[in-house]
Structure 1
Amino acid sequence: MSEEQKVGCELIQGMGRSKSWRQSWRDVRSKREYDESHVITALRVKKKANEYLIPESVDLECVKYCVIYDNNSISLEIILKGDDNDNSDDSEEELVFGAAVECGRAMSHLTRHPIHILKGGYERFSAMYHFFRTQKIIWMPQELDQFQPYPIEIVPGKIYLGDFRQACDPKIQKDLKIKAHVNVSMETGPFFVGNTDKLLHIQIEDSPEANIFPFLRHLCHFIEVHLKLGSVVLVFSTLGISRSCAAILAYLMHWQEQTLKRSWAYVKKCKTNMRPNRGLVAQLSEWEKIVLGDTVTDIADPLY
């Protein structure tokens, strides 16, 4: 997962949560560009006399994520070419901070948390998450409360990790173009029922005694087949914290031929509250031995 995708997903996860989790999006593009479309809930930052104007009503102390974006900057810096009448290759160049960075520096003293600059700007983000574009400017509190978090993106545009509620939401299925489900729970979802080509249902309880190990080979094969077909896969369990995370870890270990510890670190960056129970961790250790030919990760050393 790229850094901008990680930031985007983290920000999207916060929508609809309590005030302390909500984000502050700031758009430093022109008024025309902002009016045409912008990220949901983003406010445009105006500029006067070469200084960004921060509204006094903006309280960044209560948000965990503050993200600022411009149009399409890829780097934190931009190159300004000096005047050169001869148009030679020796024209002077100057590195300066981009608009989003300049605005971020002006706002940095207003928040307790680091300010994020969205790499690639609005163009890249809106291309990835088109369903978060809007022309709406004013949002009522009840409208903000209606926002629901989306599943976590594990492999960009290919594998998502979520919970049972998200797996039952038709809008999420449509927005993310979900074509297959891996359901690691006892519940039965409404999509792909009876279609074993598109639904892998691993019915295990949420307990340390649950045995996921016998299903891991089939799990990896199921996901691999769908990725080759170009399908987007959603892996989920009841809360999306334990069983589905174990399934994702097993697949990453198999796919990348890597250790449990390395796979764990990757998923933890994507989903900070993941917590497979100790029984599942022990089975993942056995899976590591199958994948790599030996046990490498010491699960006695807490992974959490």
Structure 2
Amino acid sequence: MAELVMCEPTELYNILNQVTKLSRLTEPNYLCLLDVRSKHEYDESHLITARRVKQEKNQYLIPESVDLDCVRYCVVYDNNTTSLDSLAEGKDDDDNTDKDKGRLLLGPAIECGKVLKEFTRHPVSILRGGYECFSAMYHFLRTQKIIWMPQELDAYQPYPVEILFRRLYLGTFSQACDPKIQKDLKISAHINVSMEVGPFFVGDPNKLLHIQVEDSLEANISSFFRHLCHFIDVHLELGSVILVFSKLGISRSSTAIIAYLMHQREQTLKRSWTYVKKCKNNVCPNRAFVNQLLQWEEIILGGLITGNLDQLY
């Protein structure tokens, strides 16, 4: 039996925007996103790809089209549940509060999650803050669309993943060229770690840092680390929203993001790598870039701490 855990809004945002060759939302066993609000609320607006959970005789009905035992992420949301602890079971004592009364205090998402966890191997996640919080933060991921055809999911353009809340994003060249993404995320500065020239901020060195480097074993990216860290620091102080990108957002731009987190948080390569990997699960800097990140770790921390590189991949 699986457990119930809280899912932060940023975590769900990143889950929704994972990419292989196509959006991972095209994979039938990747994400099961469930809405336990009323039919009226669901029809008015819900999160992209969310299915409404129906009730019959006060019992939540598991969607028949989903094999929960095979689903990697199962996320449930109601309007505004914020904690698993604050809605605890009632006590069986002299205060006339019994377990049945306690259960009435549980949010709908938690009640539904308790049913679902009997059928899945992975934890069932409850979205912290529910629909109200998530839709306020990521309004562009709301929809009234109920049925998604496979070709529509194939054509869906994911957003860059969020590294620092509403401030720093990691993405691809095509995402950096998409004006809707720039508008929705309020992007105001770019770090382009590729040979290609993007369409935004060209000729404005205050808003564009273009690191022209190939994704090859001969490329030297570490000579740009101090400059890119300074660029990001300055823009974060100014309140800018920064998108770091390369052709596929896998090697060069992820190297840049990892280098920045090592600098900003004064932490090891392994810890920074793990954090970025959690945000974007297909990051994979090439071996030459990893060796340069190890040298950067020695500079940042005064010594080499990360050991076996095979553990990173």
Q: Give the TM-score normalised by the residue count of structure 2.
A: 0.85
Q: Match of 1:151?
A: 160
**How far apart in 2 are the matches of 1:12 and 1:163?**
12
Query: CA offsets, 1:29-80, max 9 Å, x none?
Result: 1223223321122222122211012343445466432221011001125158
| CA deviations over 1:125-157 (Å, ceiling 9, x no partner) | 111211011223333333232212211111010
What CA deviation, in whole Å up to 9, does each residue of 1:91-148 have, x standing for no partner?
A: 8586534311221233345555443221111111111211011223333333232212
Aligned to 1:34: 42
**Range with bigger deviation, 198-207 or 261-270:** 261-270
Structure 1 residues 39 and 302: alpha-carbon distance in aligned structure 2, compared to 1, 3 A threshold: closer
| 1:181 and 2:190 matched | yes
Counterpart of 1:252 in structure 2 is 261
Q: What residue is the counterpart of 1:209 in the other structure?
A: 218
Find the partner of 1:9 among 14, 22, 35: 14
Task: Tell me if the contact between 1:162 and 1:235 (Cα under 8 Å) persists in the aligned partners.
Answer: yes
Give the counterpart letter for 2:192 in structure 1: N
Bigger mean CA deviation after superposition, 189-198 or 8-17: 8-17
CA contact under 8 A between 2:82 and 2:130: conserved in structure 1?
yes
Q: Tell whether the 8 Å contact from 1:282 to 1:299 is kept in structure 2 after alignment.
A: no
Paired residue for 1:87? none
Distance 1:291 1:95, change over 3 A: farther
What TM-score, normalized to structure 1?
0.88
Q: Equivalents in 1 of 2:108, 2:184: separation in Å?
A: 30
Q: Show the 5 A alignment for 1:280-291.
A: 280-291=289-300
Measure, in 2, the Cα distance between the counterparts of 1:301 and 1:63.
Answer: 28
1:127 aligns with 2:132: no
Q: Distance in 2 between matches of 1:70 and 1:300?
A: 42
Whether the 8 Å CA contact 2:246–2:253 is kept in 1: the answer is yes
- Say what the alpha-carbon RMSD is for the aligned residues: 2.5
2:284 maps to which of 264, 268, 275: 275
Secondary structure, in 3 states, of the residue corresponding to 1:195?
coil
Unaligned runs of 5+ in 1: 83-89
2:99 aligned with 1:67, yes or no? Answer: no
Identity of aligned residues (%): 64
| 277 and 258 in structure 1: CA distance in 2 versus 1, 3 angstrom threshold | same
Q: How does 1:76-225 map to 2 (within 5 A)?
A: 76-77=84-85, 78=87, 92=97, 95-96=102-103, 97-111=106-120, 113-225=122-234
The runs of at least 4 aligned residues of structure 1 exceeding 6 Å deviation read: none
In 2, Cα distance between equivalents of 1:60 and 1:21? 8
Aligned partner letter, 2:81 = S
- Measured in 1, the distance between the counterparts of 2:121 and 2:271 equals 30
For structure 1, which segment, 294-303 or 91-100, has the greater mean C-alpha deviation from structure 2 after superposition? 91-100
Aligned partner of residue 17 in structure 2, secondary structure: helix
SS at match of 2:33: strand
Residue of structure 1 equivalent to 2:58: 50
Tell me the matched-pair count.
296
What amino acid maps onto 1:52 in structure 2?
Y
How far apart are the structure 2 equivalents of 1:80 and 1:259? 41
Q: Kindly indicate whether structure 1 or structure 2 has the higher relative contact order, using CA contacts under 8 Å at least 6 residues apart.
A: 2
Shift of 1:287: 1.2
Q: Provide, for residues 213-252 of structure 1, a one-character-per-residue CA deviation record: whole Å limited to 9, x for no partner.
A: 1111110010111111111101111111111111011111
